[in-house]
Each structure stands twice: as C-alpha cells, then as structure tokens.
Amino acid sequence: MGRTSSSGLPKGTRARSGKIQINFKWNDKREWFTLDLIDTPANFIKAAKIREDFVNKAKYGILKIEDIEAVTAKPIKKADAAQKTLPASNAPTFAHYAQEYLYNLSDHKQGTKKKYLSILERLWMPLFEDMPINTITSQMLGTAVNGREWSSAKTRNDALIPLRVAFELAHDDEIIDKNPCDRLKNQKPQEAEPDPFNEIERERILN
C-alpha cells in the first residue's frame, strides 16, 4: 500500500461521505479530489496507486484534466483547474514508436526484448504513453531521467536505450526535427577498486 499517514491510510488519502479522496499538488495548488470509489480497504489500495500515478504525471507537467475526470465522481470545473495544455497534435504517440522499437527487436534474443519491454512498461510508458511524440520536449525527458534515483550508471544507461531509439524512429519518419534525447548523455560506470590483496593473501585472511 506504500507509505501510510498517521491515520493508517495510504499517504494522501482519506474517506469522505463513503467515498475516497486523494490529495496532491497540481498547478502549484494542493487539492483534494473525490474518486468514484467506495471507502473499502481494497479501494484504498487502488486509490494509492491512482494518486502515485497522478503525482508522477503532475511532477513532469503531463497530467491532464481528462486523466483526473476519468476516475473522479464528478467533472472538474475548468476554471478551477486551469492547466498548461500541450499543443494539439495528430502525430503518432510515444506508445506507437515504443511498439515499433520492440517490433524491430524481433531478431534479437528473447531476453533482450523482455528486458527493454520491462524498461518501457515500468519507466517510460506511464509518463509518455498517450502523448504525441512531437510534443515531448528535452526538458520533460531531462526531468524524468534526472528526477529518478538510479541504482547504478549502467541501469540508467540501459533505460535510455529504448527511449532514445523510439525518438530516433520518429526522427527517421520526419515527425520530429531532432531527437530530444540528444542531451541525455550516458554516465560512466564506476570502476571497481582494485583488490589490495593477491590470491594467497586473500586465502590467509579468509582462513
């Protein structure tokens, strides 16, 4: 269920009039939204996941009113939730080029395809899936990449591979003028420190 508040409920959730409300900061305002969920323990788990998704999208500036209205009990007044909207676009979505990238991996080992499918599903699709690919900026990508804690430079570098190629495919199709991932440079993996002991010395220490 993730982190809990002092009430024992998931962070940023509460029960009101038999429904569940979630709270998060959006457009520089912290607000409560009433979900179309009855306040049962199972639904609080669902609400926590919805809130986590909204918090991430709001952080990267891609949360839309339609996202919230899809799960809330009543429509949101547009005047109360004026948002910075992305320019309208009929371009293919990020999901389209992510799928094309995976299709192009058909000649690779199954483990390779599974690895990059997992990266896309865990990291990039939740943020950019339905966005027209020509509306995703280098600033958005930089915030998404640099705002995450990576376990290692190699993990970060591996995660950038499918992201870069998806945009490269869009560039090849002349949907975008340049790849917004170009500013995202690989990090140099930290080299292991040399062992100060030789094999004989290690055996003496261990035995």
DSSP string, the chain: ---B-TTSSBTTEEEETTEEEEEEEETTEEEEEEEEEES-HHHHHHHHHHHHHHHHHHHTT---HHHHHTTBSSPPPGGGG---PPPP--SPBHHHHHHHHHHTTTTS-HHHHHHHHHHIIIIIHHHHTTSBGGG--HHHHHHHHHTSPPS-HHHHHHHHHHHHHHHHHHHHTTSSSS-GGGG-PPPPPPPPPPPSS-HHHHHHHH-
> 77 or 58: whose pLDDT is higher?
58
What is the pLDDT at residue 35? 94
Average pLDDT of the chain to the nearest whole number: 83
Give the predicted TM-score (pTM) of the model.
0.56
What is the pLDDT at residue 89? 62
Q: Tell me the average pLDDT across 57-78.
A: 79
End-to-end CA distance of the chain: 46
Q: Tell me the average pLDDT across 89-99.
A: 87
pLDDT band at 43 (very low <50, low <70, confident <90, very high): very high
What is the pLDDT at residue 110? 82
Percent of residues, the chain, with pLDDT higher than 90 = 51
What is the pLDDT at residue 191? 65
Q: Tell me the average pLDDT across 37-64.
A: 89
- The domains located in the chain, with CATH, are 13-80 (no CATH), 86-206 (1.10.150.130)
pLDDT band at 79 (very low <50, low <70, confident <90, very high): very low
What is the pLDDT at residue 86? 46
